[in-house]
Amino acid sequence: MPTPSLEQVAVVLVEPQNPGNIGMVCRAMANFGACDLRLVNPCAHLHPEARKFAVGANYLLGQARLFPDLSTAIADLHITVATTRRGGRLRGELLDIGQIPPLQSLLPPAGKLGLVFGREDAGLTSEEVALCSHAATVATAEGVGSLNLSQAVLLFLFELGRHPSGEGGEESKTPTQGEYQGLFAQMEEVLTRIAFLNPSRPEASMNRLRQILHRARPDREELALLRGMWSQLEWSINDWRGRKRGGGGPKTD
């Protein structure tokens, strides 16, 4: 049986709270040839307990990259999968873990797929799930539905390791998550100024818009076209005084 290698996969842990769990995640990554560990605002990841549970994968602890927030951690990734057991309208469609391997075929030759895992006690927030291009879950019994962090990482890596990555797309045409985030920030700015978004819950509409664009999978040229359109809209409303949300249009006699 060939040895699995997941060099195109990044494992992103958001605010992990237990050094031992980080160590066990490193061991799981080493089992499947994954070497890109990204930690968002973690606990002491070099704690002796982390080294103890990493066993032969201590080198991953030393080369782990630290980030202040999830947006920065995934900016250079082309596909990101938020792992969660909670559904809901704001979280969009939840893929089954078995639907994740085919996503590898969408990666450009040097692109990366990121698996994003949340906190041990609370998982990922809806806002963090919305930052990712996809969301996935593992079907478990209702009594104890959540998985240990390292167990969840192991399951997703195992599933990816069972399937070849495929041919991949064209590198020059595949946007990164950072490029998507630039468009989303521009959209939110314009939609806020024209009072389209509910100021008390802007994420309700923005998360849906993110889901629509992620499903459409525009390439870099199409994303640039959208950026240009929103830039023109932004410029055109510079001198517009706007109206309050829910108000009618201009009255005519």
pLDDT, tens only, 174-206: 888 899 989 989 999 889 888 888 888 888 888
Distance, in Å, from the CA atom of 161 to the CA atom of 8, rounded to the nearest integer, reads: 11
Q: Tell whether 201 is covered by a domain.
A: yes
More reliable by pLDDT, 12 or 147: 12
- 191 in the same domain as 84: no
- Rounded to an integer, the average pLDDT of 99-123 is 90
More reliable by pLDDT, 51 or 140: 51
Q: Are strands 94-96 and 65-67 parallel, antiparallel or unpaired?
A: unpaired
Going from the C-alpha of 123 to that of each of 23, 70, 116, the distances in angstroms are: 18, 13, 10
Distance, in Å, from the CA atom of 128 to the CA atom of 132, rounded to the nearest integer, reads: 7
- 210 in the same domain as 156: no
- 93 in the same domain as 215: no
The predicted-structure confidence for 46-67, as pLDDT tens digits, reads as follows 999 999 999 889 999 999 999 9
CATH number of the domain enclosing 230: 1.10.8.590
3-state secondary structure the chain: CCCCCCCCEEEEEECCCCHHHHHHHHHHHHHCCCCEEEEECCCCCCCHHHHHHHHHHHHHHHHCEEECCHHHHCCCCCEEEEECCCCCHHHCCEEEHHHCHHHHHHCCCCCCEEEEECECCCECCHHHHHHCCEEEECCCCCCCCCCCHHHHHHHHHHHHHCCCCCCCCCHHHCCCHHHHHHHHHHHHHHHHHCCCCCCCCHHHHHHHHHHHHHHHCCCHHHHHHHHHHHHHHHHHCCCCCCCCCCCCCCCCC
Q: How many domains does the chain have?
A: 2
Does residue 117 have a pLDDT over 90? yes
Token pair listed for 229: 């359109």
For residue 253, what pLDDT is reported? 43
Token pair listed for 214: 């992620």
- 144 in the same domain as 42: yes
- Rounded to an integer, the average pLDDT of 66-81 is 95
Residue 24's pLDDT band (cuts 50, 70, 90): very high
Give the percent of the chain with pLDDT over 70. Answer: 86
Task: With both helix axes pointing from N to C terminus, report the angle between 177-193 and 220-236 in degrees, rounded to the nearest 10.
Answer: 20
For residue 250, what pLDDT is reported? 47
- 194 in the same domain as 140: no
Q: Which of 120, 139, 161 is the last residue of a domain?
A: 161
CATH number of the domain enclosing 26: 3.40.1280.10
Does residue 244 have a pLDDT over 70? no
Distance, in Å, from the CA atom of 204 to the CA atom of 187, rounded to the nearest integer, reads: 14
Q: Tell whether 1 is covered by a domain.
A: no
Give the percent of the chain with pLDDT over 90. Answer: 47
Q: Which of 130, 161, 192 is the last residue of a domain?
A: 161
- Rounded to an integer, the average pLDDT of 143-160 is 88
Distance, in Å, from the CA atom of 163 to the CA atom of 226, rounded to the nearest integer, reads: 34
Q: Which of 102, 130, 161 is the last residue of a domain?
A: 161
Give me the sign of the Cα torsion angle 182, 212, 165, 156. positive
Does residue 241 have a pLDDT over 70? no
- Rounded to an integer, the average pLDDT of 79-85 is 92
Q: Tell whether 4 is covered by a domain.
A: no
Q: Tell whether 31 is covered by a domain.
A: yes
Q: Which domain holds residue 79?
A: 9-161
Q: Tell whether 45 is covered by a domain.
A: yes
Average pLDDT of the chain is 86
| Rg for the chain, CA atoms, rounded | 20
**2-16, 22-36, 55-69, 104-118: which range is least confident on average?**
2-16
